[in-house]
Amino acid sequence: MESYQSDRDDVIQKCIDEGMEYVLTVGTEEPYFKTVIALVDRYPFIYGAVGIHPHNAADFTDMTEKAIRKAATHPRIVGYGEVGLDFFKNYSPRDIQKKIFVRQLALAGDLDLPVIIHSRDAQKETEDILKQECKTGRGVIHCFSYDRSAAEIFLDMGFYISIPGTVTYKTAGGLREALRYIPSERLLAETDAPFLTPVPHRGRRNVPWYVKITIAAMAAERKTTTEKLAAVLRDNFVRLFLKK
C-alpha cells in the first residue's frame, strides 16, 4: 500500500531481521496485483493473495476476473482475498457487495485457493452467504471483530479465525472472550498493516513485526507462552495456505 512507498524494502528487511518466517501480503485491488507478484518474486518468505475488497466491489468487471485468474497462476499466490462484506463503511452498495462476494467465492473455489474473509458490521449476512456459497469452509475470517457466538458459527463451518492488534485495545473484551474459546489449531494472528496498530504504538503506521505484540497479548489471554503460541500459529498458517 501507499504508506510503504518510501521505505518498503527497509520494512521488509526489518521483517527478516525480526525473524519473521512468513509474510502474506494481500492485493485488495487490481492495481496492487503486480506489486504483490513483484514482492513474492523478490522475497522467498513472502507469499501473496489477490481478490477484490468489498470496498471496491462496485468496480468488479469481467476484466477484473481475468486479472485475478492470471495472477493466481503464480505458484506463490496462495490465497484469495480479501473478499466479503463491509457494512460499516459502505463504500460499495450493499447489494453489489453481496453479489460480488458470491461471485468471488465461486472463483476462489474454481482456483482452488483458501479465502480470506473481510466482514465488518455484517455478521449475519456473511454467515448466510458463506453457508450457501463456501461449503468447504476453507479459509480464514480475517481481523475477526465479532464475539464468541459468531466465532462458534464460523468454526463450525470450518474456518480459521485471525486475530489482529485490536486485541490489545481496552474495549475489545468481546474479542478477548472469543479468543479464549477458539481452539489452537484454528487460530491465526495478523497485523492488517498499515491499519489496526496494536498498543502501545496505536495511532501510528502498523508494520508486520508488530504481530509479535499481538501474539504476546493473545498468549497472555490464553495462559500460554508467546513462543509456544507463535509455533502453533506458524503451523496453522502453513496448513491453511501452503499445503495443497
101 sits near Zn ion (criterion: CB under 5 A): no
Report the residue from 50, 60, 98, 118 that binds Zn ion according to the rule CB under 5 A.
118
Residues 57-96 that bind Zn ion (CB under 5 A): 82
Q: At closest approach, how far in Å is the CB of 52 from Zn ion? A: 12
Which of 151, 199, 194 has the alpha carbon at shortest distance from 171?
199
Which of 147, 160, 145, 164 has the alpha carbon at shortest distance from 214?
164
206 sits near Zn ion (criterion: CB under 5 A): no
Report how many residues bind Zn ion under the rule CB under 5 A: 2
Alpha helices in 18-147 (DSSP H): 30-42, 62-71, 94-111, 123-133
Q: How many beta carbons lie within 10 A of that of residue 133, not counting itself? A: 16
Nearer to Zn ion, 141 or 219 (CB): 141
Residue of this chain nearest to Zn ion (CB atom): 118
- The span of 18-26, 73-81, 113-121, 166-174 binding Zn ion (CB under 5 A) equals 113-121
Helix, strand, or coil here: 165?
A: helix
98 sits near Zn ion (criterion: CB under 5 A): no
| Cα-to-chain-centroid distance, residue 51 | 11
146 sits near Zn ion (criterion: CB under 5 A): no
Contacting residues toward Zn ion, per CB under 5 A: 82, 118
